[in-house]
Chain A
Amino acid sequence: DAGVTQSPTHLIKTRGQQVTLRCSPKSGHDTVSWYQQALGQGPQFIFQYYEEEERQRGNFPDRFSGHQFPNYSSELNVNALLLGDSALYLCASSLRAGVNQPQHFGDGTRLSIL
């Protein structure tokens, strides 16, 4: 049973570029959440997708956008990259957008901005 898979594992971009990160949820899960983890810090919630709609959003600018597909997979897009966007981007999946549902995390995409 495959867990949460993310691609790519590492990515290097320059300021001003845009990037797309991908996530496939654990089999049977229908909800995907994205988190940003800066070095040495805890993850910060970006947004969550359920039934192909953004259900909740954290304190991130509009440069961060996402999408969920009918097969529950998801993409995170970041435009006009800044040096401060360098971080580990984590995807988590769960069953239904409800509290206390255990979230399963992927191993993340390490994004470096030069």
Chain B
Amino acid sequence: TQLLEQSPQFLSIQEGENLTVYCNSSSVFSSLQWYRQEPGEGPVLLVTVVTGGEVKKLKRLTFQFGDARKDSSLHITAAQTGDTGLYLCAGANTGTASKLTFGTGTRLQVTL
């Protein structure tokens, strides 16, 4: 069974601070996706990383896929209150179907 562990589980910071969320597994994934989920809504895809060592930037968010494709990180620069939410990483593998294995989630609270 493939598992994805995220750390930290909870993070409460003030606006303007930087933060990093980690997503780790003992298994190799073909790709890894990051989602943000707000209360009462479904997860919204932020990015997909495919190549080991790949770095993708989305405005103030930087995503990295580990060289061995077992881990990933999400770094947010100068956090804003609008970044508040549940951040989820999800791994996928090749095959006939794209089943996502989700991480345990990191709940981020950004306050003024």
Supposing A42-B103, A58-B99 touch, asked if A107 and B31 sit within 8 A by C-beta, the answer is no
Q: Which of A43, A58, A97 contacts B96 (CB 8 A)?
A: A97
Supposing A41-B104, A42-B88 touch, asked if A97 and B40 sit within 8 A by C-beta, the answer is no
Chain B contact residues: helix, strand, loop or mixed = loop
B42 close to chain A: CB less than 8 A = yes
Q: What total of A-B pairs shows CB separation below 8 Å?
A: 81
**Which residues of A sit under 8 angstroms from B6, Cβ to Cβ?**
42
- Shortest Cβ gap from B83 to chain A (Å): 19
A108 close to chain B: CB less than 8 A = yes
Q: Beta-carbon contacts of B5-25 to A below 8 Å, as 1s and 0s?
A: 010000000000000000000
A73 close to chain B: CB less than 8 A = no
Q: Number of B residues contacting the other chain (C-beta, 8 Å)?
A: 31
Roughly how many angstroms separate A106 CA and B40 CA in the complex, as a whole number? 10
Q: Which residues 82-114 in A have Cβ within 8 Å of B in the complex?
A: 90, 92, 94, 97-108
